[in-house]
Amino acid sequence: MQISLIKNKKKKTIWIKAAINSLLIMIILLLISGCARWPNGGDGDEKKLLLIRVDINENGQINTDLGKYYIVFDTRAGASQPPSYDREDWKDEYYYIMLDNMGFCFGQWGSSCQYTSIGIKGEQYFQINLDLDSLGNPKKIFMNVITADGNGETYDYIGNPSDLTIDTSIVNFNKVIQDFLGDSSGGPDFDIVKVTITLVS
């Protein structure tokens, strides 16, 4: 009778261990297959975060007292080229981020701009972290980076803004674009030298 009880206990212990091991294997498989992702509206799609860092001339520093820094996006389905360096040519459908002496402001051109904690500012760079949902989850993003004086007159912009174009279907999208050194009419504080773009899920 005692031997039978010991055998039953051993069987029960083996069964419990097997159940725990099976559960652990199932969890690992779910994680590997990507089912445990950040849901977007409950449909299992990934949310994507767009990181853009803009570096200025090493002899300058971010100077929001004498000017402004812009990132402008054209996310329209029919878009075929980046936004102009001239703000007068920007369309109301464009999204933009502006860094001025009050901080980071995000909105659509022609509408009110909302100040937000969308980015960080260093001595010689600024970086924005933007949920792709905020841009309407576009398949492609055309963009430009611009510095300007307080009246909106352009100091500097990316020489070939087509290089900034983002294809949101590419996994782990990453791109570094160099710009001409010393080409800003506003001096080194407004001289864009590098833009780093990363899209993460």
Taking only the tens place, the pLDDT of each residue in 115-156 is 999 999 999 999 999 999 999 999 999 999 999 999 999 999
For residue 145, which of 103, 102, 110, 176 has the smallest C-alpha distance?
Answer: 176
Reported as a single tens digit per residue, the pLDDT across 97-121 is 999 999 999 999 999 899 999 999 9
Mean pLDDT on 9-37: 50
145 burial class (0-12, 13-18, 19+ CB within 10 angstroms)?
A: buried
Question: What is the reported pTM?
Answer: 0.77
For residue 43, pLDDT over 50 is answered with no
What confidence score (pLDDT) does residue 160 get? 94
Length of the chain: 201
Higher pLDDT, 197 or 40: 197
What confidence score (pLDDT) does residue 16 get? 60
Mean pLDDT on 25-37: 46
The answer to which of 20-29, 71-80, 163-172 has the lowest mean pLDDT is 20-29
For residue 4, pLDDT over 80 is answered with no
For residue 35, pLDDT over 50 is answered with no
What confidence score (pLDDT) does residue 39 get? 41
3-state SS assignment for residue 134: helix
User: How do the domains of the chain map onto residue ranges?
Assistant: 1-36, 49-200
- Which region holds residue 182: left if phi is over 0, alpha if psi is between -120 and 50, else beta? left
Higher pLDDT, 134 or 25: 134
For residue 69, pLDDT over 70 is answered with yes
